[in-house]
Amino acid sequence: MSLLRDLGGLARGFGVTLRTFFRPPVTLRYPEQRPALAGRHRGRHELQRHENGLEKCVGCELCALVCPADAIYVEGAENPKAEPVSIGERYAKTYTINMLRCIFCGLCVEACPTEALQMKGEFELTGADRRSLIFTKERLVAPRPTSAPDDSWMPS
C-alpha cells in the first residue's frame, strides 16, 4: 500500500514536470527586455509642477505625517511675494525622501491635497552609497515646462 502511494506521488510529480517543461519561459533578459509594468505600479516619487512652472507642493507636510516608515521630511516656509515658488501661501522649503526607508505604500500620494506628489514608473532605484538614495527636493521636482500655456488661470 505504501509503495503504491509513493509511485502515485512520483507519477504526479513527473506529470507536473512534463507539463511545465514545454511551456515558454517567463524569464526576461533584463535590461535588454523591460518588464511590462502594471498601470498602478508605484515607482519613484516626483513632485509635480503647474503649467506655468510653479510647484504644486504647498508645504502642508501631510505626506510626512501619514508616512508609516517615517521616510519623508518636509519643512514648509512662507512663500515670497516677489518671486513665488508655489501658488499657495506656503511652499516646501525642504523636501527629502529617504528611499532606503520607503515601503512604496502610496499613502503619501493619497494624502497630498494638491496632487503634487506622484509615483512614477521608474523602478531602478540603486546607488553606490546610502547618501545617493536620500532624494532631496532638487532631485524630486519635475523639470520646468518648456513652453508657457496659452490660457492659464494661475498667476504668472
- DSSP conformation class of 83: S
What residues make up the domain containing 136?
45-140
| Residue closest to 152 by CA, chosen among 87, 90, 76 | 87
Task: Examine residue 22 and state whether it is found in any structural domain, yes or no.
Answer: no
Q: Is 124 among the domain residues?
A: yes
- Indicate whether 69 belongs to any domain: yes
d(CA 72, CA 109): 12
C-alpha cell at 78: 512662507
Q: Confirm whether 27 is domain-assigned.
A: no
Domain with 61 in it: what CATH number? 3.30.70.3270
CA 28 to mean position of chain CA atoms = 23
Let me know if residue 114 belongs to a domain.
Answer: yes
Question: Is residue 66 one of the residues assigned to a domain?
Answer: yes
pLDDT value of residue 126: 85
Would you say how long the chain is, in residues? 156
Q: Determine, yes or no, domain membership for 9.
A: no
Q: How many CB atoms lie within 10 A of CB 60?
A: 18
Render each residue's pLDDT in the chain as its tens digit; 156 residues: 576 677 778 888 888 888 888 888 888 888 888 888 888 888 899 999 998 899 999 999 999 999 999 999 999 999 998 999 998 899 999 999 999 999 999 999 999 999 999 998 888 888 899 999 999 999 999 988 766 555 555 555
Distance CA 25, CA 71 (A): 38
Closest listed residue to residue 133, CA positions, set 85, 93, 101, 94: 101
Amino acid sitting at position 61? E
The answer to whether position 20 is within a domain reads no
Q: Which cell numbers hold the place of 85?
A: 515658488
